[in-house]
Structure formats: C-alpha cells, structure tokens
Structure 1
Amino acid sequence: MRRTSPPGKKLSTLPRIESSTVGLDSIEAAADAEHRAAARREMPGGPAWREAAERASAGGSCELALIERGLDDADVIALVASLQREAAGSALTGSRPINNVTSLDLRGNAIGDAGAAALSGLLRGEGCAICTLRLWGNRIGDEGGAALVSALARPNSSLTSLDLGKQGQPVGDAVAAALASSLPRCACPLQTLDLRYCGMTDKGALPLAAALPRCRALRFLDVRYNAIGATGATALAVALGRADSALRVWVTSNAYNDQDAADL
C-alpha cells in the first residue's frame, strides 16, 4: 500500500516543504536552500570549518568538501576571501595557517568563470597548501579554465591533482592551449590531470601533445570522452613515447575510429 504524507506534515528530507502536494519548483527551491545551508555549515565560520581549523592549528591538514551544494560564483568568491583573510591573519600573528587546506572538492556545483578566477587567485597566493582541486561538473568556461591552469606556473605551487572534467560547455581547447603554455614552465608537482568530457578537439590536443615531453612531474592525463580525432590522438601517442616513461595517457572514447586506433 502506497504511503502518503499527512496534510501539513513536513517531509523529513525537505524541512521547508509543508505538504507532499507542492509543485516541482517549490521542491527544487527547498532542496537548493538545504544545500546552501549545508554548505554554510562547512564554509568558514560554520561548525565543520571550525573543526577543520582546529585540526590545522594543531598541525593537521584540512580536506574541505562542498560537493553538490549549489554553490555559485558569489559563494566561491566568499569562500576564497575567507581563506585569504585567515592566511593573512596567521601571517601577522606568526601562528600556523588556519586555512591549511590541502584538498578542496567543489564537484557538482554551479561555478563559472568568476569563481574559477577567484580560485586561480587562491592558488597563486603565497603559502597556498592545496594539493588536490576537484571541479568536475561545474559551469567553467574558456576564460575560467585558462585562468586556473595558468596558476600552475606559480613558483612553489603545491598542486598535484586537478580535475576540470565535464564542465557545462566545451572548454577543452582553451584549457589545452593554456596548459601547453603553463605546463612546460610548471613549478608545481602536478601529477594528475582530468579533462574528460571537455569537448577537446585536435585543435587542443596538438599543442598539449607538444608540451607533454617537457612535463616531467605529470603521471596521469585523462582526456577520454572528448572530440579528439586521429590527428590529435596520434600526436598524443608520439608525445607519450618522448615523455617520461611513468606518464600514462587515457585517450579512448574520442572521435577517431577503430582503424585509427589500430594504427596507434
């Protein structure tokens, strides 16, 4: 027998919904509000953040995860500003940085170019300890993607893993061009780069392939599920032969056919 919620009873998963007969728009709005409320609890000033800050002050590291919280550019700009203020305050007092974030997971949000630019500024900041940055499934465009990867050239950067997969628009070629410029000058130990579902074509794959032999720290490059053709795939294969033997490149599920794959 199918159960229904009594009229006027609040649904447990959506506390702001008063009845099970409300419209879809109201449900989505309530869910978004709950996501944002959860995010605020974990952002600077919230209970989860204070707990992480205490660990950092004691000598530990913070892994900050705000996955599928409905965060937009304004939220990320506020988050970055808070982290930068904490860093500045720690520098003045000589204490251990409270914002000792080593992993920042922002997958599945609504971050665009402005938010990406703010994150790029954070990565460029003195003393930034972020090793892992996950941005899968956001709305970052060409400008924001290029800004993020250009931050890789910052001296003494700590970033080892960057995930820019599956943005809401095809950013692959712009990101690849910026990577081709940044990676050979990359002072950071970037080891893992995820660019799946980014709409990358041969236009992006060719300059990226040319830069790979000079990227000595890179170990894993994932460009699956793009639009790379036989020309780009061949260039990546040739570059792989010239690069460090520890480098692995995933390039399946692109625009080349079975015969092209056999030739590779």
Structure 2
Amino acid sequence: MNINCLSQLNNPENPNNTFQLKVNLSKKKIGVQSCSLFADFLINFINLKELFLDVKSNNLDEEGMEILGQGISQCQNLISLNIDLQSNNLDNSASEKIISLISNCQNLQILIANLSQNFTSSIGSHLANCSNIKTLNLNLSLNNIGDVESSHLGLEISNIKQLTSLILNLSGNKIGHQGISQMTTQLSKCQLLNTLYLQLLSNKIGDQGVTKLAKNLTYFPSLSSIYLDLRWNNIGDQGSVALGQDLANCQNLKVITLELRWNDIGDKGFSVLGQGCTKCKFLNSLSLDLSSNKIGYLNNSSITFNLGECQNLKQLNLNLSVNKIGDQAILVLCKGIAQCVSLQKLILDLSTNNIENLGAQYLGQELVNCQNLNILTAHLQWNNIVDAGAYILIENVLQNKKIKNLTLDLKQNTIEDQVFLKISQLLRKNSSLNALCLFIGNQNITSQIRSKLVKMKKLVNLVL
C-alpha cells in the first residue's frame, strides 16, 4: 500500500492483509498532530512486515520523533524498516529517542535510517536490544561529526551482536585520523560482520588515518565484502600503500570496491594497492576508482599491475581516467588483466590520459587473451588515438569470440569518418556480439553506421 498525503491516513483498506506499507510525507510541513495521526493509523497494521516512511524536510522536534517512534514500535511483526529523517534539525536527544522506541520491534532484521543534514551524531546503544537485526544502513552525512562523535558511534554499533551487513555514510563530516582509527577498532568487535560499506568522502582522514583504518580491517574476523569511499581525503601514496599492504592480509575478501579519486595518488600508491588486492585469493570482484590522481605523472615505467594471482576474479572495474598513463603503462596494465583466467566482465576507463595508437594496439592485443571475457566496456575518449589505432584496437578485440557485450567510447580522438565506416564493416562481419554500444561523437556518420549494423546476425541491442 502506498500513502502520499495525510488525507489517506483515515480509513485504511485491508490492514490485516497488508504486509508492505510506503508512506511519503516529505516536505508536507507535518507536526505533532500529523505524527499522532500516523501513529494511530499504524495500529491497524498488525501483520506489517515492511515499512518505508519518508518524513524528510519537516522540521520535526523531539516530541514528533517520540510519537513516530511509539507508532512504529506497535508493529511487532516488522522485519524491515526504511525511515528517512533527513533535514529535520534533529539533535542527539531526538534521534536517540526514536531509535530507542524502534528497538522495541523485536523482530526487526533490516534498518535503513537517513539522518543526513541534521545535528545528530549518535543512535545510542538501544539497537543492541534488537537481537535479530542483521543489516544496518545509516546515513549520517553532513552532520558535523568529529573524532569523538565517530568513536562513540562505533561503540554504539558494536553492541549489535547479530550484525552481518553495515552501510555507514559519514561523508562531509570532520573525521580525522584518530576518529577513524577508534571507530573501526570498535566496529571490528562485530564478530559476524561480513559486509562493510564506509562512505567517508570529504573528511580529514589523510594518510595517517587511512593507515590506521587499513590496519584495523585485518581485525574483522568475518569480512568478505568491503566498500571504502575515501574521495577528497588527501591520502597520497603513503595512504594508498598502507591500504594495499593491509588488504593483502584480509584473506577472506571476495569483493573489494575502493573509491579513491582526488587523493594525489601516484605510481607507487597505485601499484602497491593493486598488488595488495591480488593477494586476496578468494577475490571475485574488484572495483578501483583512481581517477583524477597523479598516476603516470613521473615515470610510467614504475607502474606494475599483476593480477595473475587472482584466479577467481570474474569482475574488474578499473577507472584511471584523468591521469597521465601512456602507451607503455597500458601494455603493463593489459598484460596483468589478461592473466585473470576467470575474468568475465571488464570495465576499463582510460579517458583523458596520454594514450596514442600504440597504447590502443596493446589494449586490443592483450584483451584477445581474456578467453572467458563476456562483457567489455572501454572508455577511451579524450586521448590521442588516430585512424590506425582505432581500427587495430577493434580488429583485435573482435578476434575474441567470447565477447558478447561490447561498449567502446572513442569520442574526442582524431579519427576520420571513413575509418569508422571501415570499423562498421569489421563489426558487421562479427557473428558473436549480442549487444554493441559505440560512441564516436559524430551524428552524421552515426546514421550511416547504424544502417550497416542493424542487420547483424545475433545483435539484439545496438546503441550508437
């Protein structure tokens, strides 16, 4: 059942047979009286399993939060709660009040709470009373949280003994190296935690903080999936090296996602980070975003990237856009990628680098050796590739008959229209592709190419 206005809170239809309820009251200027109306409305739904409540941007006070919490606490069969409290000027007292009441829902297993853009840094220790809670998704971004507050938050969350999945958004706060160290030390006490998402964009962590964070990751006993968003934290090579060295000791990791753009990371930081990830022998998905750093600024020959030890790696997403990676580094990268014998999906963003024809040729030649590759996406826009390089790249890629889904972005290079027409002839002869996305940046030639490709034998999806 979906509720989008207060007038719908009067006569519920079939409340005993309603298991999922979505209520959107955002920006409705609701107050205490409306909260009471909603709480009374919820009494009718004794079998409710899932509740989504959006009350963001309403300037609710502590009294309103208490009434909402009391209403939700009546739903004793509730398993999943998604509550959006963003931009309500809540302080710690108001936030802890509603969380304490929600904790009375003893069957709750999934809690998603958006407390962004308030004045809160705490959820209290009440969630420890929810003995069945396994998944916690908590958004505390833009709340002026510092080291002391983040440490306390880690302690509060560590009390949730059955927690297996944690998504914690702390972007746009003031957390430094001490705060991230103390918080992750506390979180490592969650013995069953296997999935950890930490969004720490735009804090004050620095290389010292990342070093402590990386070391603490090795103390999580059950961790198998890690997502770290460390954009705009000035971690540099030192932080990236520490992260790589300690990730190598997280032997149970199967999924690694690292967002590290805008961090002044150079060749050494990138190389050691890559080497560390490859030491995780069970790794099957790796995503590294190192765009807008300083890779290749000094000496491309110092770049290494050997994925030969990742025998189980099936998905690789590597974003190196807006660096200065040249042709020789492309060869090193692609040789390393080709050693992933199980690789099925590759997304490679090399836009805005110094890639010329030789680099494009290396890319095509090495990708032929990825014998299990089904999906290939290559972003090569804003480079120095000209006619021959583009043609050789695609000619080589098409030799890999395992590739069924191909996306190539070649915009903003210096490639003549006639070369694209020749490329379309190559593509038309291919009998393996099911899906093709080709971006060339010239609308006039695009229509001509489309007319040549629409009759490809197995092609079911074409984007030009």
What is residue 124 of structure 1 aligned with on the other side? 188
Match of 1:152 among 200, 217, 220: 217
Contact kept? 2:251, 2:279, Cα under 8 Å: no
Q: Cα gap change, 1:188/1:203 in structure 2, threshold over 3 Å: closer, same or farther?
A: same
Whichever residue aligns with residue 178 of structure 1, its letter is A
Q: Cα gap change, 1:179/1:164 in structure 2, threshold over 3 Å: closer, same or farther?
A: same
What is residue 207 of structure 1 aligned with on the other side? 272
What is residue 76 of structure 2 aligned with on the other side? none
What is residue 208 of structure 2 aligned with on the other side? 143
3-state SS in 1 of match to 2:264? coil
What is residue 239 of structure 1 aligned with on the other side? 306
What is residue 111 of structure 1 aligned with on the other side? 175
3-state SS in 2 of match to 1:142? helix
Contact kept? 2:141, 2:171, Cα under 8 Å: yes
Contact kept? 1:68, 1:106, Cα under 8 Å: yes
Matches of 1:202 and 1:46, distance apart in 2: 49
Match of 2:261 among 196, 206, 227: 196
Q: Cα gap change, 1:42/1:100 in structure 2, threshold over 3 Å: closer, same or farther?
A: farther
Matches of 2:201 and 2:148, distance apart in 1: 18
Contact kept? 1:146, 1:178, Cα under 8 Å: yes
Q: Which has the higher helix share?
A: 1
Q: Which has the higher strand share?
A: 2
107-116 vs 254-263, which moves further: 254-263
Matches of 1:119 and 1:145, distance apart in 2: 12
Map Cα deviations across residues 172-216 of structure 1 (whole Å, 9 max, x no partner): 312221122112221343421111111111231222233343234
107-116 vs 145-154, which moves further: 145-154
Map Cα deviations across residues 101-135 of structure 1 (whole Å, 9 max, x no partner): 62111111111111111122024224263521111
Match of 1:59 among 132, 135, 143: 132
Whichever of the two has the greater Rg, that structure is 2
Contact kept? 2:172, 2:201, Cα under 8 Å: yes
3-state SS in 2 of match to 1:131? strand
Alpha-carbon offset, residue 143 of structure 1: 1.4
Contact kept? 1:42, 1:49, Cα under 8 Å: no
3-state SS in 2 of match to 1:219? strand
Alpha-carbon offset, residue 171 of structure 1: 0.7
Where structure 2 has 5 or more consecutive residues not aligned to the other structure, the ranges are: 1-56, 61-85, 110-129, 327-351, 364-464
Sequence identity of aligned pairs in percent?
Answer: 24
Q: Does structure 1 residue 248 correspond to structure 2 residue 317?
A: yes
Q: Cα gap change, 1:82/1:36 in structure 2, threshold over 3 Å: closer, same or farther?
A: farther
Whichever residue aligns with residue 294 of structure 2, its letter is A
Report the RMSD for the aligned CA atoms in angstroms. 3.4
Q: Cα gap change, 1:42/1:197 in structure 2, threshold over 3 Å: closer, same or farther?
A: farther
Contact kept? 2:210, 2:239, Cα under 8 Å: yes
Contact kept? 1:192, 1:219, Cα under 8 Å: yes
3-state SS in 2 of match to 1:136? coil
Matches of 1:186 and 1:255, distance apart in 2: 31
3-state SS in 2 of match to 1:68? coil
What is residue 261 of structure 1 aligned with on the other side? 355
Alpha-carbon offset, residue 158 of structure 1: 4.7
Q: Does structure 1 residue 38 correspond to structure 2 residue 103?
A: no
Q: Does structure 1 residue 171 correspond to structure 2 residue 235?
A: yes
TM-score (norm. length: structure 1): 0.69
Matches of 1:240 and 1:66, distance apart in 2: 36
Where structure 1 has 5 or more consecutive residues not aligned to the other structure, the ranges are: 1-11, 16-33, 88-96
Matches of 1:260 and 1:76, distance apart in 2: 41
Number of residue pairs matched by the alignment: 221
3-state SS in 2 of match to 1:228? coil
3-state SS in 2 of match to 1:239? coil
What is residue 291 of structure 2 aligned with on the other side? 224
What is residue 148 of structure 2 aligned with on the other side? 74
Q: Cα gap change, 1:193/1:219 in structure 2, threshold over 3 Å: closer, same or farther?
A: same
Alpha-carbon offset, residue 227 of structure 1: 1.2
